[in-house]
Structure 1
Amino acid sequence: MAQPSRAPAQRNAFVPSLLAAAILFLAPLLFGAGWTLFVLFATAILALIVAWFAVQARHWWWVPVFVAIAVVWNPVYPLALSGPVWTAAQPVAAVVFLIAGALIRTRRS
């Protein structure tokens, strides 16, 4: 008996997550070179994009995580974070982006 065909899944959040992770892993170097505003804008925008893909995929538990990332990295009203906490937050957020990019998927119709 033939197996029913499954609709293939697509990972819409994968590329934005990879971009954000690359930026966040390079953030210590970029901050030192005066690219702070770029890192903040890119991270906040990509966090909202990934949150939107999570909504579309009905993975609701990712939405508060990426809204929190967008708030912490927002360039309009930046939080006064610095030192080891801020330095450690960059790779942690990058790993969160990578995990979400791998797990958020929708079925193609």
Structure 2
Amino acid sequence: MKDASRLPHWPRAMSEEMAAAYAGGISVATLRREVSEGRAPRPHHISGRRVVWFIEELDAWMDRIKGQAALTQPEQKQKTNSWAAAAAAAGKTSGQRRSPLR
């Protein structure tokens, strides 16, 4: 197959190799596994042995993956003030300062 990244646009119906490239550059084996496990869209037989994946279905699959990733990411912890963190690490409480005579 020609380098799919050089295409000016992606065709509406794609071969297995091109569909794998479109879906983030995964391998054909990964695409087949995802289809067999029911996560990726199933291919369509359009004539004889010609099998294609439609771009709309691949886009919907990628959108579902994106949505799942957003749901499973942990919430970001609130960043603490670096001075407060350093004081806590030194065992000092807030507002406690070192004596200027030391």
| Structure 2 length-normalised TM | 0.31
Identify, as 1 or 2, the structure richer in strand: 2
The structure where helix makes up a greater share of residues is 1
Q: Structure 1 length normalisation: TM-score?
A: 0.30
